[in-house]
Amino acid sequence: MRPGRAAPLSREAAMDTLSYPAYLLALTAGMLTPGPAMLQALSLGLRHGARPVAAAALGNVCATLAQVAAVLAGLAFLAREPLLLRLISLAGAAYLGWLGLCLWRAPARLALPEASRASLTGLFAQGLGVAACNPKAWGFLAAMLPRFAASGAVDAATLALTAGPVCLLGFGGMMAYARFGAWLASRLASPAALRRVFRIMAVVIWACAGFFAAARFP
């Protein structure tokens, strides 16, 4: 090797370097696609403005933080058996592929939930419940987090790096859907436009699923 030239990354090192960007990309595609939380924010925002949505979004963030911590702790415990953790990772990649297929085949229409006005405490509880009871959220996290728990221990930095983007995307996405709800609804009113969004997000999720399936733990 010539002096001054860096050694090329091994395949494993390259995979490890790309894991976090792939995680962020899959999160963005999965969380900002119209789902239960985002449609709740859109419906509330259209009827009552953005302020009530902040309470629901805060509840969503609290539930999400607890979900990430619980999933990481469970996966770190299972890391004592590397083969088992690898199998969970492969199952998670398959689950991401299935989610992508669901998005690709999703009906091209927005079904807005009822958005009756409630107290801020009630809206916080609604946001908490929607996030905590959403099986897609649990499955999504279990699919993407095994690599970050492979050491068998979860420190504050790992929790911050994995939970932080989820919370920011959750809160920011809900507020964006609330603030720009009328504009989004008009842009997504066309079945062709909504189908295009769903299919772009499906391709992104499939690419991330392929990455997580191919990646090996350090």
Please state the rounded mean pLDDT for residues 111-121. Answer: 70
Rg (CA), the chain: 19
Please state the rounded mean pLDDT for residues 171-194. Answer: 82
Question: Which amino acid is located at 19 in the chain?
Answer: S
DSSP 146: G
d(CA 214, CA 209): 9
Neighbouring C-beta atoms of residue 139, cutoff 10 Å: 17
Please state the rounded mean pLDDT for residues 91-107. Answer: 88
Contact (CB, 8 A) for 147 and 75: no
DSSP 6: P
Per-residue pLDDT at 113 = 64
pLDDT in tens, 17-65: 678 888 898 888 888 887 777 877 888 887 777 888 888 899 989 999 9
Per-residue pLDDT at 73 = 92
Domain ranges for the chain: 25-106+119-214
pTM score, whole prediction: 0.78
Please state the rounded mean pLDDT for residues 91-104. Answer: 89
Per-residue pLDDT at 218 = 57
